[in-house]
Structure 1
Amino acid sequence: MNQETTRGLTLIAPPFGYAFALLALPLVAVLVLSFWSQDYLTIDRGFTVANYVEAVSDPIYRTLMGRSLLIAGAVTLVTVVLAFPVAYYVSFRVAPRHKSLWLFLITIPFWTSYLLRIFLWKVMLGFNGVINSALTGIGLIDEPLTFILYNANAVVITLSHAFAPFAILPIFVALEKIDRSLLEASRDLGETAFTTFFRVTLPLAAPGVVAALLIVFIPTVGDYVTPAQVGGPGGLMIANMIQTQFLALNNAPMGATLAILAMLCVTVVALAVVWLSRRLAGGGAR
């Protein structure tokens, strides 16, 4: 038994060390850096919490953090709500031999550059872009819409499209695991298609929905490319400020502090979503 344990530890030691070096050590470095201070190019390694005090008390940082959470929440809600019907259709309506083709089509956006997709949305949402030109051409609007670019709305639209496959795939996997006989039993017991969906299908697909919520929410909070390109002044997020602190203001400790606070906020929200999903699952089981 000791030999097997030693052999197992020997096998997992290299990948564990690799993951630790690439994931844990950078996080520790950022955490340590957040307790330092910097004056232009000179870093003072003396321990201080002044960065955290400033980050919490400064209204600019609080506004950006709150806006980031709101935009990420909106993106997550829109993405999951739109992704569920697609995943449901592929799982329940598409023939088994064609499901691989549908999944292949869903992943096609990954073939193109993320930055290229942002530029395409920028062209579509622009003042003289595709959407405004089409609506003006058919007479639905008299002048181009201005609320769909260089604001939070444009960020939500662009990120929702970018992360749609990340929401569709986990929901599809959860729907595929549902025993179809349970749905038939529900219908045989007098439930309608509507009540069967909400009382059987949706609860059983909840793990996939929760996974989709987390997979979309966590990276969108830290996205800075999309807000920089289509967000404008009203669509900038906390990641843009972190980038500014590191590159433009030469204040790496403050950038590290904002990064740590952003990670803490994301962790709290993620844990709250998991806790709430378990509470709802437990209540449904009772």
Structure 2
Amino acid sequence: MAELGGRLGRWRRGDAASGYLLISPPLIYTFALLAVPLATIALFSFWTQDYLTIIKTPTLANYREALTDPLYRELMLRSLLISGSVTVATVLLAFPIAYFVSFHVPPARKSLWIFLITIPFWTSYLIRVFLWKVILGYNGVLNTTLQGVGLIDEPLTVILYNANAVVITLAHAYAPFAILPIFVALEKIDRSLLEASLDLGENRVTTFLRVTLPLAMPGVVASVLIVFIPTIGDYVTPRLVGGPGGLMISNMIQTQFLKLNNAPMGATLAILAMLIVGAIALIFVALNRRFLRGAR
């Protein structure tokens, strides 16, 4: 028995070693391309810079300035509001589309619909942003159409070079990211549960609220996180269609690194933005878990 146990132990150790060997390349790759740059940014945030000279004496001066300067606070708050608005608008518009494709499109044509939803990915992100500039411009497609049908007398100025334009453009850009996770969650719902709910006296509205929506919440949560987290770091769209009133914290980070030659402050703002977004995401996930427990 002792000899058998020793052989089994050697086999387990060998099996574990093989497993570690298999995962080591992607683990090293992830560490090199994600953990090391992130640690470098965190380290930079505790330094200061005097023109071209990096002063490596640890300090919290950057964090004090970032948390007390009204400009940084305003940009962070605006970024959260814009990203939140984009997330709400995108998910609310994506859910009906995903629901229609999942429940009302014949199975043989669902792949075609998913294919059509992903068509925007075929074009460059910059091209899509510039197209929205053409649509929302002072003499753009939207204003010209509204004037042509007599709904407005003069072009609207509230749809370009402000936060509204950023929300519209980002909502369109991230729509497929929101539709697909919700569609996958809806496809996993057992249709017999919906039939059982109707047989037990529930109507279609209450069946949706008490059965379909709770079961689809994992997809909704995934959509919220997929849209909210990257949009707060988008700096191309605010720069091209946002104007002074639509700039976000990411634009300030870019300015600190590339124009003001203050990499430590840019790193500090990036770390603070990451921490705030991470905290909001965790709170949202916790509230969603409480909602699901209450629904049960």
| TM-score bin (small chain) | over 0.9
Matches within 5 A, 1:170-185: 170-185=181-196
| Counterpart residue number, 2:3 | none
Q: 2:283 aligns with which of 268, 272, 277?
A: 272
| Counterpart residue number, 1:54 | 65
Shift of 1:101: 0.5
Question: Is it true that 1:103 corresponds to 2:85 in the alignment?
Answer: no
Q: Which runs of 5+ in 1 are unaligned?
A: none
Q: 2:54 aligns with which of 34, 37, 43?
A: 43
| C-alpha distance in structure 2 between counterparts of 1:91 and 1:273, whole Å | 26
Q: 1:29 aligns with which of 31, 40, 43?
A: 40
Of structures 1 and 2, the larger Rg is shown by 2
Cα deviation 1:110-141 (Å, max 9, x = unaligned):
01000110000011000000000000011110
| Counterpart residue number, 1:150 | 161
Cα deviation 1:41-74 (Å, max 9, x = unaligned):
1111111110000000000000000000000000
Which 10-residue stretch deviates more, 41-50 or 157-166?
41-50
Q: 1:70 aligns with which of 67, 75, 81?
A: 81
Counterpart of 2:250 in structure 1: which amino acid? A
Shift of 1:282: 1.1
Shift of 1:96: 0.5
Matches within 5 A, 1:74-85: 74-85=85-96
Q: 2:245 aligns with which of 230, 234, 254?
A: 234
| C-alpha distance in structure 1 between counterparts of 2:24 and 2:183, whole Å | 34
Q: What's the TM-score once normalised by structure 1's chain length?
A: 0.99
| C-alpha distance in structure 1 between counterparts of 2:295 and 2:105, whole Å | 29
Question: Is it true that 1:113 corresponds to 2:109 in the alignment?
Answer: no
Identity %: 71
Find the residue that maps to 2:161 and give its secondary structure: coil
Cα deviation 1:190-245 (Å, max 9, x = unaligned):
11111111111000000000000000000000000000000011100000000000
| C-alpha distance in structure 2 between counterparts of 1:68 and 1:57, whole Å | 17
| C-alpha distance in structure 1 between counterparts of 2:63 and 2:217, whole Å | 37
Q: What's the TM-score once normalised by structure 2's chain length?
A: 0.96
Q: Which aligned runs of 4 or more in structure 1 are off by greater than 6 angstroms?
A: none
Find the residue that maps to 1:205 and give its secondary structure: helix
The count of residues paired between Structure 1 and Structure 2 equals: 285
Shift of 1:283: 1.3
Cα deviation 1:129-175 (Å, max 9, x = unaligned):
00000000111100000000000000000000000000000000000
| Counterpart residue number, 1:251 | 262
